[in-house]
Amino acid sequence: MVFVIFDGVKSLDVAGPAEVFAEANLFGADYALSYVSPSGEAVATSTGSTMPVDGPADSVAHADTIVVCGGDVLVSAPIDPELVAAIRVLHERTRRLVSICTGSFALATAGALSGRRATTHWRYAQLFARAFPDVDVLPDALFVQDRGVFTSAGVSAGIDLALALVEADNGPDLARAVARNLVVFMQRPGGQSQFSAPLEIKPARTPTLRDVVDLISADPGLDHSAGRLADRVGVSARHLIRLFQAEFDMTPARYVEKVRLDHAKSLLDSGHNVEEAAEGAGFGSPETMRRTFVARLGLSPSQYRDRFKTTGRP
């Protein structure tokens, strides 16, 4: 298991998955962990600490699994060409190529995700989709596997993916023992959405749009067509649509759908049935809500409810 790290790497993106593999060795697995950087030099992590490496990336002749870790620098600045070149070389020398969190940006820049399904941290999913239109982005998934390339969401999702790899290599009993020892969940499948992520929309700059957003959030179940919303704040529907496109890069209808989806998830989480959630969130019918859930989350409302509802009982 070779971890590819770089200046600015997020410490937990390295430590979380690495601890899973190290813990697996205590129960009979046989993972040899090593760490490389593009230059072979130690790196400065996101916390300011120094992380040593075992050598340069091009010194790896073959590895069963290559893990490219994440870091904010991968989305805030151009990605180091040396890192991109290293990933391209290592992709040809491994059975499994894995990214943690924003490590997916490095994989995509290296061309490793072209024509593949992938995910990343929910905060950067829209940016990822715009930057790499040749990648089929699944913004809600915890982790995704497509033809030997694995991508995951945030830090905890990297742990989920590491456990899934341990299970694939060593069976469910050993993976379950690792999860129990680390006090983490065992049964979080990759297709589970990053459901806890809130609606990620930057605050509106204009007072008119702020008023509209407040109206939608206050009662998602009302008629929030562009015309009705425009009437409530005293502007034309065309002007309102322009405001939404300029500030949120989406139509009012898409924004309303996102708010309703979040509200429906909350209702299902608290134990409401599908019909109640559809009515309370303003979807109009359970079938309309079902289509939205399947399109946006990859599972039906009833599947979501059965997996994640809270009953309030001990």
Residue 307 near residue 142, CB atoms below 8 Å: no
Q: What is the pLDDT of residues 278-300, one digit of tens each?
A: 998 999 899 999 999 988 877 88
Of 80, 129, 144, 135, the residue nearest 106 (C-alpha): 80
Mean pLDDT of the chain: 89
Between residues 140 and 25, the one the model is more confident about: 25
- pLDDT for 44: 98
Residue 109 has pLDDT above 90, yes or no: yes
Q: What is the pLDDT of residues 180-194, one digit of tens each?
A: 898 775 545 444 455
pTM: 0.66
Q: What is the pLDDT of residues 216-232, one digit of tens each?
A: 888 888 889 999 999 98
Q: What is the pLDDT of residues 24-59, one digit of tens each?
A: 999 999 999 999 999 999 999 999 999 999 999 999
Residue 179 has pLDDT above 90, yes or no: no
Q: Residues near 188 by Cβ (< 8 Å), separated by ≥ 6?
A: 142, 160
- pLDDT for 306: 74
Average pLDDT over residues 8-23: 96
Residue 77 has pLDDT above 80, yes or no: yes
Of 112, 115, 86, the residue nearest 99 (C-alpha): 112
Residue 178 near residue 166, CB atoms below 8 Å: yes
- How many helices (H) and strands (E) in the chain? 14, 11
Of 24, 40, 35, the residue nearest 69 (C-alpha): 35
